[in-house]
């Protein structure tokens, strides 16, 4: 069963989200506080996607995201944010969320985001492709979807993995932000280009020797990014 956790303290919004996810064929687990959400995820480790409201009594959605990511890099996480502040989006993504949806959102928009993330998190079993891409010091295993740098495992979210794979399959090629958005998030994704920058910033923190002076993922000013391993 395709299981999604919905953390939202406002009953009417939670019911609305649950109803629409159920209609789209998802099985839902509901939580009204961050603490409860974490408890439910412990009891249901098979949960593939979590929708996290940001403003909550008790610990907030960012903290829940951080705690999920401390032990689980694979779960798909979408933040539900009431505010459109750029900082909120950035904070959410930097704490490890894969995506965000700003309230108010339409049922179609929400399920499209969940579907996209579910596909990306390996929800629909694809033919296992075997193989490794080795570009010292990086080794990307496309079967296990893992990355090593100098033989040490670097934990990546699904989105970060997709970005790394795209880069390593296109060494030395300048990729525009639009192209990265299309390749990683899909052509049917109506997100903002900002999400590309934030994910790359987060990825750099994990893979670069010196984040202030990145040498693997370099910026192509006014255009996008380039992989230089
Ligand atoms: Ca709330």
C-alpha of residue 34 to centroid of ligand 1, in Å: 11
C-alpha of residue 111 to centroid of ligand 1, in Å: 19
C-alpha of residue 96 to centroid of ligand 1, in Å: 19
Strand blocks (E) in the chain:
3-7, 27-31, 49-53, 76-81, 99-102, 132-135, 138-141, 146-149, 152-154, 174-176, 217-220, 224-227
C-alpha of residue 17 to centroid of ligand 1, in Å: 13
C-alpha of residue 137 to centroid of ligand 1, in Å: 44
Residue 140 has what pLDDT? 93
Residue 127 has what pLDDT? 41
Spatial contact of 172 and 228, defined as CB atoms under 8 Å apart: yes
For 128-141, letters b (16+ CB in 10 Å) and e give eeeeebeeeebbbe
Q: Report how far residue 20's alpha carbon sits from residue 76's, in angstroms, rounded to the nearest whole number.
A: 18
C-alpha of residue 195 to centroid of ligand 1, in Å: 23
pTM score, two decimals?
Answer: 0.65
C-alpha of residue 113 to centroid of ligand 1, in Å: 20
What pLDDT digit, counting tens, does each position of 16-41 carry? 999 999 988 899 999 999 999 999 99
The widest CA-to-CA distance across the chain, in whole angstroms, is: 52
> Residue 8, exposed/middle/buried by CB under 10 A (0-12, 13-18, 19+)?
buried
Residue 124 has what pLDDT? 46
C-alpha of residue 65 to centroid of ligand 1, in Å: 15
Residue 85 has what pLDDT? 65
Residue 198 has what pLDDT? 92
C-alpha of residue 227 to centroid of ligand 1, in Å: 39
C-alpha of residue 180 to centroid of ligand 1, in Å: 32
Query: Which stretches of the chain drop beneath a pLDDT of 70?
Result: 1, 83-89, 121-130
Residue 122 has what pLDDT? 61
């Amino acid at each position: 069963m395709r299981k999604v956790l919905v953390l939202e303290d406002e009953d009417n919004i939670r019911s609305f989200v649950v109803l629409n996810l159920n209609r789209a064929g998802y099985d839902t687990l509901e939580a009204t506080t961050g603490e409860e959400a974490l408890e439910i995820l412990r009891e249901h480790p098979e949960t593939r996607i979590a929708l996290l409201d940001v403003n909550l009594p008790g610990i907030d959605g960012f903290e829940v995201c951080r705690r999920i990511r401390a032990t689980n890099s694979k779960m798909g996480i979408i933040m539900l944010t009431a505010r459109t502040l750029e900082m909120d989006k950035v904070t959410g993504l930097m704490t490890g969320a894969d995506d965000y949806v700003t309230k108010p959102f339409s049922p179609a928009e929400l399920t499209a985001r969940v579907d996209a993330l579910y596909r990306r998190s390996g929800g629909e079993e694809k033919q296992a492709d075997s193989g490794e891409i080795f570009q010292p010091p990086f080794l990307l295993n496309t079967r296990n979807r893992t990355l090593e740098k100098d033989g040490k495992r670097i934990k990546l979210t699904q989105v970060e993995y997709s970005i790394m794979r795209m880069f390593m399959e296109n060494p030395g090629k300048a990729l525009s932000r639009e192209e990265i958005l299309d390749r990683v998030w899909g052509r049917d994704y109506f997100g903002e280009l900002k999400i590309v920058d934030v994910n790359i910033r987060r990825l750099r923190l994990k893979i670069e020797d010196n984040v202030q002076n990145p040498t693997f993922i370099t910026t192509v000013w006014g255009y996008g990014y380039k992989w230089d391993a």
